[in-house]
Structure 1
């Protein structure tokens, strides 16, 4: 019972600290984003599929953590194999979505550069050196 109370207190304290840090960061940077906030209010965007998947995944992980604590409280043992599998699947899903997002960004960058990629400017030969007298031979 003591372990459950310590775990619950640690979870609540961590959540409170996270919310406080987010609130403080928002308050500190609020003045810098006023034009961006106006533009975002003018042009509202729908929530994308990846964003919906991330929200669903967060809800599932929170519910699983609560259910895991309940199982631990009743049985005194944690289903460590199931916990590992749940977090592995969620981690794999996040990795795949990150890979897809990276590939989309690369494709968009390639489209902006007309498909030929980034071309550096041609280098000019140095003009501070004199050529040797037998160059044209």
Structure 2
């Protein structure tokens, strides 16, 4: 089976760099399946798990926004943040989820900006818990 090089990079470090068989990401227009030889494109990513298949195994990485660039020879994900399932602190992610839910349900006079920040924090926490297998 043919493969392509996948690199996942954050501002802090290289998270992943391996030959893979396929990749599924969630772009702003919906889920995208990428196989070797895919037509080149660039699109923004949503906060969602990235699913990677290599040699019959599946790996999930929690990606929080950024871009995916599909080139002829490789795919690069430039992420704001990304974590392998083994790196996720489940206790911290659950606490972040609870804080975000509390902010969203509290009856204070928050502005739209605060509400949006709480929604993003909730999405990130849920993404991390989903990838870690705890949601």
Higher helix share: 1
Range of TM-score over shorter length: under 0.3
Largest Rg, 1 or 2: 1
Length-normalised TM-score, structure 1? 0.25
Higher strand share: 2
